[in-house]
Amino acid sequence: MGRKLGESAASSGIGNADQLVRLLQKTFHLEIAFDYFSPFLLGHELPGKGCAENPRIEKCSQQHREIGRTVCSVIFIFPESSTIRWAWRLLGYVLPVRLLLNLRTMILLALLPGAAVSAEVTLPKILSSHMVVQRDLPVHIWGLAPPGQGVSVTFRGETHSTKAGQLGRWSIYLSPGVAGGPFQLIVQGAPMAPGGTSASAQTITLDDILVGDVWVASGQSNMEFEMRKGATADEDLPRAANARIRLLTVKRRASEYAQDDADTDGWATSTPDTAKDFSAVAWYFAREIEEREHVPVGVIDATWGGTVAEAWTRLAALGEDAALAPLFVSWGRMTEHESDALLADKEEQQQIEEAKAQGKPEPKFPWHPDLPSWGPGQLYNGMIAPLTPFPIRGVIWYQGESNSQLVRAPLYKRIFSTLIEDWRRQWGVGDFPFLYVQISSFTSTPIEDWATLREQQLKTLELRNTAMAVTIDIGNPDNVHPTDKVDVGLRLARAARALSYGESIEYSGPIYRQATPEGNAIRVWFDHTQGLTAKGGALTGFEIAGVDGKFSPATATIEGATVLVTSPSVSEPVFVRYGWANSPQCNLFNGEGLPASPFTSEK
């Protein structure tokens, strides 16, 4: 039995018995508790840890020895949770609380994979070879190591050192630098003092690191939409190789608490193979920025289709705003009905299988969201929180379709503003540009209000250093996932070039400013109006209403930088709106070919 238990410890990644003993005694201060039970964990046959060779073990009672042997055997051979609970209950009758807790920690650690109990310096997965680090900001390198161990980082000829804290965390900032590379980054763990857990220095080397601009791309399915599905994929993918564009995909993960590390395979250079499953919008954005600004660009794809904005927002930030209480009511109702939803999914799947077996068309059913992916804060915890120690240039965002339900849409500005402001706080690199896409044109259903959602997105422009790419002209009324992602990426890149890179270019279509009644007409004033024009003929998409709020179709005429709107049905117009439908027909553009955002003047 002893030898088997020793083999179990070895298979967990422990090099030898002495190494495990030193690790546990140094790190967890198990003292006599470990000495009592090490023979039963590591085996009497292993050198240096038999009872006869350890005078402290001679002090332990025969009763404790037998209990230790029994408990360790039970845990290793019968790992079912009920059996383990029984074993701890037995120990609780005969051992002091502190001794019991220490023993429990020791045994659980012995069962963990080697990485979990490794005495090595480790880095989060976001820090890998081929990464881009943000230029002109301090370079942040962080990770885990045995408590008290020295760690040094060398990058671009600069070396800084620190020691891991009590919880094993360490963090080093190196000086900012200009764009360039490739560079090598070396992380080295110093040898521990005698009796420690590390017998020699450990070195981690990251190669092919560029210094440039890092952008986070997040949101739901239209940002997640892969390049290989795009309208121009056949033309663009074969030319996707670009050593100055680096890609990192964060895998889907919902979590009830903030994660330290992202689930990712690390950074990769852009190639036809690495780009094909990457966000199309993010890739076209990166290509345009790299070509225009002549700097390396790294893009982090953290997306999950069919998700709501509150799932991407830190839970405490949502909870600080009482006006967002309906979100938690909605979430509670979802959890209450999840059992029924799972049963419905099972029944629907059975019907699909039966239809396939009979050669019939598959029946269609309403879409059901994955429950955790809609939990307030859960996608922030699992996919965004691990990224926040990594300095970035800004964020591009495409989301909103899942918040378009009648009960959700009116809250969107409040949720979205909370998300933007809190992400900026968590990253701690200032009010970085937050560039987002206004949802496009889709017929949808009567229970969704895309017009109100777009208005909520429009109002979010009140926040500093934000910009919105309008896509009302490139949607597909019959498909919530339009395949033209090139123009979406280029419009976001225009906004970045203006807001983040300081280019003097037009980056937005006409944006509603105000409306003033003029007798039986109403005049609309816009920003971003140079070269105001109606694309494809007469101006369409305008409606006006009197004090009763009943809107009627109207005739609209461009007059300089304004639009004058009238209707024979409304003699004294007070309100005006444009493109107010899920899938509207509207054609107001400026001279740069950028479409006007739908809007309403009604408060």
Q: For 203-246, how does the pLDDT look when each residue is reduced to its tens digit (9 = 90+)?
A: 999 999 999 999 999 999 999 999 999 999 999 999 999 999 99
Q: Is the pLDDT of residue 8 over 90?
A: no
The answer to whether residues 396 and 436 touch, using CB atoms and an 8 Å cutoff, is yes
Q: Let me know if residue 183 belongs to a domain.
A: no
533-543: average pLDDT: 96
Question: Has residue 18 got a pLDDT over 70?
Answer: no
**Of 71, 88, 117, the domain-final residue:** 117
End-to-end CA distance of the chain: 77
Q: Flag whether 321 is in a domain.
A: no
pLDDT of residue 368: 87
Q: What is the largest CA-CA distance in the chain?
A: 105
Distant-in-sequence, close-in-space partners of 169: CB < 8 Å, separation ≥ 6: 142, 143, 144
Q: Is residue 104 part of a domain?
A: yes
Among 117, 132, 152, the domain-final residue is 117
296 assigned to some structural domain = no
In a domain, 110, yes or no: yes
* Model pLDDT for residues 274-286, shown as the tens digit of each residue: 999 999 999 999 9
- This prediction has a pTM of 0.81
91 within domain boundaries: yes
Is position 584 within any domain?
yes
CA dihedral 265, 269, 275, 279 (to 10 degrees): 70
Q: What per-residue confidence (pLDDT) applies to 414?
A: 98
Query: Please, which pLDDT band fits residue 119 given cuts at 50, 70 and 90?
Result: low
Q: Tell me the percentage of the chain whose pLDDT exceeds 70.
A: 79
Average pLDDT, the chain: 85
Domain-ending residue, one of 66, 82, 117? 117
Q: What pLDDT score does 264 carry?
A: 98
Range with the lowest mean pLDDT among 20-34, 289-303, 435-449, 546-560?
20-34
Under 8 Å between Cβ of 475 and 440: yes
Band the pLDDT of 269: cuts 50, 70, 90: very high
> Per the domain annotation, does 20 fall within a domain?
yes
Domain that holds residue 583: 511-600
Of 21, 79, 74, nearest in space to 46 by CA: 21
Contact between 451 and 406 (Cβ < 8 Å): no
How much is the pLDDT for 193?
55
**pLDDT at residue 314 greater than cutoff 60:** yes
Structural domain total, the chain: 2
